[in-house]
Amino acid sequence: MKNFFSTRLLKWYEKNGRHDLPWQKNTTPYRVWISEIMLQQTQVATVIPYYQRFLSRFPDVQTLATASEDDVLSLWSGLGYYARARNLHRTAKIVVKDFQGNFPRTAQQFSELPGIGQSTAGAILSFSEKKYAVILDGNVKRVLTRYFAIETPVDRADTIDQLWTLAAELTPKKNTHHYNQAIMDLGATLCARTQPRCDACPLTNHCEARQQNKMTFYPVKQVKKERPVRKTKMDIIVDAQSRVLLVRRPSKGIWGGLWTFPENNALKLPLQKISELPTLTHQFTHFTLHITPIYYRIKKMPSALDSSEMIWYNWSDDLPGGVPTPVTKILKIMRNHIAQSALSKIGA
């Protein structure tokens, strides 16, 4: 069974797999590591432009290690799951300080670095060093749970152990890097979450889920509680020069270290409310956030705003660092609004 599985998969990959992704060229540990972290919970098409910009700005681990966190988060803006960017930065510093700029050579050492689990460590070693290493990302889990019709929830500890055992048994000692890319490609293209293309799959004749005609039943997931809803009001505070106030969030928690608007008038400033903008909805992994942006003019500039964690953002300047997607949307709305107001005054 092992030889059949890997042989059919490798043959399919040779003709149909993805061979020209940016991180498949010049496969250094650094370049592969960046791609693997970006690809966590993010699709390939979304990652590609971010990866290219990131490598252009931070071409090696030394450059990344010496960069400011604001620079790193700025390049990550819009990609989401910002803990990944902060972990990249932390890991770069560790590699430079503790490993003299050289990446670890074992999966155990890799998996001890921030943001790198067992599967990511295996992928980095497999693709950059061509070493034997087993992986178990979301695509691999989907392929294996369908092929073997595993009916226990995929996120349960005993199921994860079972999947690691199966993955290790199936992974060939030779051409491991091709096999690992092949099974990820299969999960990403043919064995998709919805509407799997079983007719084109090289494993279809032996796939238990296909025999049962229950492909989308797998992988089984535990019933999740309804996602809670939270609400907040973002204070869009504009001064006499049409600059807008941005504050840096604490390093821990949601949007840690990113620049956003103050919320719920926490700064207790003398404000004149101008208008309320349409509510935005943003989905986090564990809750839904409804954001009501409120446009204010500040009546008097207090000296208490003189802080490194706050800035008056001038529209002609670059953003000071990373900015969450909802804040980017609000900034765009406000930029257009302020520009239109200026034109109206000129016309008058």
Domains in the chain: boundaries: 2-135+171-189, 229-347
- 229-347 shares the fold of 2-135+171-189: no
At the topology level, CATH places domain 229-347 in Nucleoside Triphosphate Pyrophosphohydrolase (3.90.79)
Residue 25 CA to its chain's centroid (Å): 21
pLDDT above 90 as % of the chain = 80
Residue 307: pLDDT above 70?
yes
H or E segment to which residue 13 belongs: helix 2-16
The Cα–Cα gap between 254 and 250 comes to 9
Specify the DSSP class assigned to residue 10. H
Contact by Cβ (8 Å): 137, 183: no
Higher pLDDT, 148 or 223: 148
The Cα–Cα gap between 77 and 324 comes to 6
Q: pLDDT of 23-76, one tens digit each?
A: 999 999 999 999 999 999 899 999 999 999 999 999 999 999 999 999 999 999
Residue 298: pLDDT above 80?
yes
Tell which residue, 169, 190, 209, has the closest CA to residue 6.
169
Residue 344: pLDDT above 60?
no
Average pLDDT for 209-235: 93
Q: pLDDT of 227-240, one tens digit each?
A: 899 999 999 999 99
H/E/C letters for each residue in 150-214?
CCCCCCCHHHHHHHHHHHHHHCCCCCHHHHHHHHHHHHHHCCCCCCCCHHHCCCHHHCHHHHHCC
Report the pLDDT value the prediction gives residue 348, as an integer from 0 to 100: 44
Domain 2-135+171-189 class in CATH = mainly alpha
Contact by Cβ (8 Å): 143, 202: no
Specify the DSSP class assigned to residue 304. G
* Gyration radius (Cα) of the chain, Å: 24
The Cα–Cα gap between 74 and 56 comes to 14
Tell which residue, 75, 98, 91, 73, has the closest CA to residue 29.
91
As given in the structure block, the two tokens for residue 289 are: 């956030």
The Cα–Cα gap between 206 and 148 comes to 9
The torsion defined by the Cα of 340, 345, 347 and 348, in degrees rounded to 10, comes to 140
**What is the dihedral sign for C-alpha 8, 9, 12, 15?**
negative
Contact by Cβ (8 Å): 125, 110: yes
Q: Which residues are catalytic?
A: 36
The mean-pLDDT minimum among 128-132, 273-277, 343-347 falls in: 343-347
